[in-house]
Amino acid sequence: MFEERITIDEQILHGKPVIKGTRIPVQLILGSLVGGMTFEEIEKEYRINREDILAAMEYAAESIEKEEVFSLKAR
């Protein structure tokens, strides 16, 4: 469960979700993956582990699942 590894605290990065015990935002981890970095490169670069990366991905997936989408087309 991502809740064990992701935290949101108004005192840390203005409340953006981060890896617990760090100031590394979920957004940075996801952006690194999109940019082509491997899990191993991210682990080394940010000193986190595979479970942290997976938690960031799970957090993003659940956030998107809960998102409401509205059509912008005029009727």
Residue 50's nearest CA partner among 10, 5, 3 is 5
Domain boundaries, the chain: 2-66
Token match 């809740």: residue? 3
- CATH code at 2-66: 1.10.10.10
Distance between CA 18 and CA 13 in Å, rounded?
A: 8
pLDDT digits (tens, 9 = 90+) for 22-64: 999 999 999 999 999 999 999 999 999 999 999 999 999 999 9
Radius of gyration, alpha carbons of the chain: 14
Q: What are phi and psi of 19, to 5 degrees?
A: -70, 125
Within 10 angstroms of residue 75's Cβ, the number of other Cβ atoms is 3
pLDDT at 75: 59
